[in-house]
Amino acid sequence: MPFFAIQIWTGTEGRFLSLARKRAHKEELRLLWPRRRLRIRRRGSWKEALAPIFPGYLFLQSESIDPGDYSALKTVPGFVRFLPSNTNITPLEPRDQRLLAHFLSFGEIVEKSRVYFDDNRRIRVLAGPLKGLEGMIVRVDRRKGRAKVRLEMYDNSFEVDFGFEALEAAELPPRDPPTGAVTASPGAGGPER
């Protein structure tokens, strides 16, 4: 089922979502607000917080937008427009739908990714929303546990911070040795293949 993007006033996503759900005419009208969990520092202490992945945007999953739904949504305080415009309401492009579906596959609230750093100090993602987006990571802050990712939607590029949990070498899952690797055999006089 396709997704439609709704631009709203940034910072009013939660209020808009609750009001819009009350005014929707169809039960199958599904409004989504993808968010990410971050660790932030306030007044000297670290706290967990939720932040939108796409600030100022909600997504509507529906086969089409009928005039009744359009009218109900545009009267909700904070509504700006459907994308690309109110006169040309079209679903997200396939590339944008894949990006949105990637995040929604982890739920409407994405948790932190599990990562480790290799010998060259490069980030390696084991699991979580950063998996598959490694090529889009533009900056890593190990102290804050955040990776800045460059995302593109509707031909606009923007950067978003995602939280991660860095695993130490002892916590990493065991890796199989490469095929054909030489391993030492206990009790034998030399390497075996």
Task: Indicate whether 46 and 77 sit together in one domain.
Answer: yes
- On whether residue 75 sits in a domain, the answer given is yes
Q: Is residue 179 part of a domain?
A: no
CATH number, position 55:
3.30.70.940
Domain holding 146, by residue range, is 112-171
Domain count of the fold of the chain: 2
Task: Say what the pLDDT of residue 23 is.
Answer: 77
Q: According to the model, what pLDDT value does residue 154 have?
A: 80
Are residues 87 and 15 both part of a single domain?
Answer: yes
CA separation for the pair 124, 188 (Å, rounded): 35
Residue 170, pLDDT score:
53
Question: Is 187 contained in some domain?
Answer: no
Rounded to whole angstroms, how far apart are CA atoms 121 and 147?
Answer: 14
Residues 90 and 145 in one domain: no
Q: What is the pLDDT of residue 176?
A: 54
Contacts of 93 (CB under 8 A, 6+ apart): 154
Question: What is the pLDDT, as a whole number, of residue 191?
Answer: 47
Cα–Cα separations (whole angstroms), residue 123 to 31, 32, 99, 137, 182: 34, 30, 21, 9, 27
For 93-133, the pLDDT digits (tens) are 999 999 999 999 999 999 999 999 988 888 999 999 999 99
- Provide, for the chain, the percentages of residues in helix, strand and coil under a 3-state DSSP scheme, each rounded to the nearest 5: 20, 40, 40
In a domain, 91, yes or no: yes
Do 86 and 51 belong to one domain? Answer: yes
Low-confidence ranges of the chain (pLDDT < 50): 177-193
Residue 34 falls within a domain, yes or no? Answer: yes
| Residue at 74 is within a domain | yes
- Looking at the fold, whether 30 and 3 belong to one and the same domain comes out as yes
Last residue of one domain, picked from the residues 86, 111, 136? 111
Residue 123 lies in a domain: yes
Per-residue pLDDT at 151: 92
Check whether residue 18 and residue 95 sit in a common domain: yes
- 101 shares a domain with 6: yes
With H, G, I as helix, E, B as strand and everything else as coil, classify residue 102. helix
Q: What is the pLDDT of residue 60?
A: 93
pTM, two decimals, is 0.81
